[in-house]
Structure 1
Amino acid sequence: MDPELPVVRLCVAGMQAEAEGRADEARALFQQSWDGARDDYEACIAAHYLARQQDSPEETLRWNQECLDRADLVGDERVRDFYPSLYVNLGNAYRELGQLASAHRYFELAAERAADASDGQYGDWNRFAIAEGLRDTAVAAAVGGDGEAAARGGIGEGVERPVRELFGRWCERGDLKALGLTLPAYLGCLGTDEDRLRLRSALHMVHAARWLPAEEQSLLEQALGAAAVW
Structure 2
Amino acid sequence: MADDLMAKVTAIVQRGQAGERDAARAELESMWAEVEAGGGDDFHRCVIAHFLADLQDGQRDELMWDERALAAVDGVSDERAQQFDQSLQVRGFLPSLYLSLAEDHRRLGDAASAHEFLEKAEAASDALGDDPYGELVKGIMGKVRQALAEGSTDPLPTD
Q: Flag as ranges the 4+ runs of structure 1 deviating above 4 A.
A: none
Alignment match, 1:9: 7
For these two proteins, the number of residue pairs brought into alignment is 138
* TM-score normalised by L of structure 1: 0.55
Paired residue for 1:83, among 84, 94, 104? 94
SS in 2 for 1:74: coil
Deviation at 1:138, TM superposition (A): 4.0
RMSD between aligned residues: 1.9
Instruction: Tell me which protein shows more helix as a share of its residues.
Output: 1
Give distance in 2, aligned partners of 1:139 and 1:105. Answer: 17
SS in 2 for 1:36: helix
Q: Which runs of 5+ in 1 are unaligned?
A: 141-230
Paired residue for 1:33, among 31, 35, 41? 31
> Is the contact between residue 10 and residue 33 of structure 1 (CA under 8 Å) also seen in structure 2?
no
Deviations 1:42-101 (Å, cap 9, x if unpaired)?
111111111112221111101100100110232546322110100110011101101112
Which of the pair has the greater relative contact order for Cα pairs under 8 Å at 6+ separation? 2
Give distance in 1, aligned partners of 2:27 and 2:150. Answer: 39
Give the structure with higher Rg (CA): 1
Deviation at 1:25, TM superposition (A): 1.7
Deviations 1:4-63 (Å, cap 9, x if unpaired)?
323311221112211321112211221233223311111111111111122211111011
Q: Mapping of 1:49-198 within 5 angstroms? A: 49-76=51-78, 78=81, 79-138=90-149
**1:45 and 2:43 equivalent?**
no
**Identity value in percent:** 33
Alignment match, 2:16: 18
- The change in CA–CA distance for 1:6 and 1:94 in structure 2 (over 3 A counts) is same
